Structure 1
């Protein structure tokens, strides 16, 4: 008795799969982005931060003290909205705001030791979420995905005036 060979279906070509509306790269990115943002928001809020506040603390950690106007520009946030983000951070002792000694109109925002500690905890939670999101990818695939996403992001920010930032992501539906 001879064994029948298994029936195999050839994998659809990347073009054929892309032609299916549900496999559109843009749609998949949007849907995955929505789910990723939901999970990241949960990780950040578990540590008492919004994604925007997490971004603010991260900028202060990476760049050091910044003037409020620089922080507003860097986060693509109106000055009045930035104040509503900084007030609770300052009340919790995560940042301080002081007048610049050389320019009394300028307020400098500084990350405190408590802010650094909170940022570390929220960053660890964020890494756990990312590990879950990308668990099916190997290290090299994850690095390649990061590279490709950065390339798309950089291309968008070069060609358009606005690209998604943590401030715009706070406004997404929950």
Structure 2
């Protein structure tokens, strides 16, 4: 145990909510730092991954898929469009809406981010075996499904 943990009261070390929050904060820092090194953010990755998985979408649909607030999503799409990673075009069925599409440079950037995030996940989960990682993911999915 490191010095911080030996100075933490047992009742705090035993709280799953606290452990999850601390792990989440560490994971968030790690992922954010790795994405920043690639000139990206979590919301960039979420939009690119959603477009890759499900195809072109309206901004409203992308907001629902990714959990990015609509007002924030506009800025994210603007950034990705400036980088030629997505294209935004009027919806032929409803000219008031835009359809966002992943571009080839966007797909290439997504592949790079996938590799970067895989490395970050490996670093975060380094203390665990492959079987323990799978178990942890399954347990976390169960907790979140309630």
Correspondence for 1:86: 77
5+ unaligned residues in a row in structure 1: which ranges?
1-18, 156-174
2:49 to 49, 58, 69: 58
Partner SS, residue 96 of structure 2: coil
Structure with greater proportional helix content: 2
CA distance in 2, matches of 1:61, 1:154: 25
Q: Matched residue pairs, number?
A: 138
CA distance in 2, matches of 1:40, 1:79: 23
CA deviation profile, 1:9-65 (whole Å, cap 9, x unmatched): xxxxxxxxxx62222111011011101100000111111111111111111111111
**TM-score w.r.t. structure 1 length?**
0.75
1:71 to 62, 65, 69: 62
Greater relative contact order (Cα 8 A, min sep 6): structure 1 or 2? 1
Quote the RMSD (CA, aligned, Å).
1.5
User: Do the aligned residues in 1 keep the contact of 2:43 with 2:68 (CA within 8 Å)?
Assistant: no
Correspondence for 1:11: none
Correspondence for 1:133: 124
5+ unaligned residues in a row in structure 2: which ranges?
1-9
Residues 4-83 of structure 1: pairs in structure 2 closer than 5 A: 20-83=11-74
Correspondence for 1:148: 139
Partner SS, residue 104 of structure 1: strand
Structure with greater proportional strand content: 2
**CA shift at 1:93, angstroms?**
0.2
User: Do the aligned residues in 2 keep the contact of 1:47 with 1:118 (CA within 8 Å)?
Assistant: no
Pair member with larger Rg: 1
**TM-score w.r.t. structure 2 length?**
0.88
Partner SS, residue 68 of structure 2: coil
**CA shift at 1:76, angstroms?**
2.7
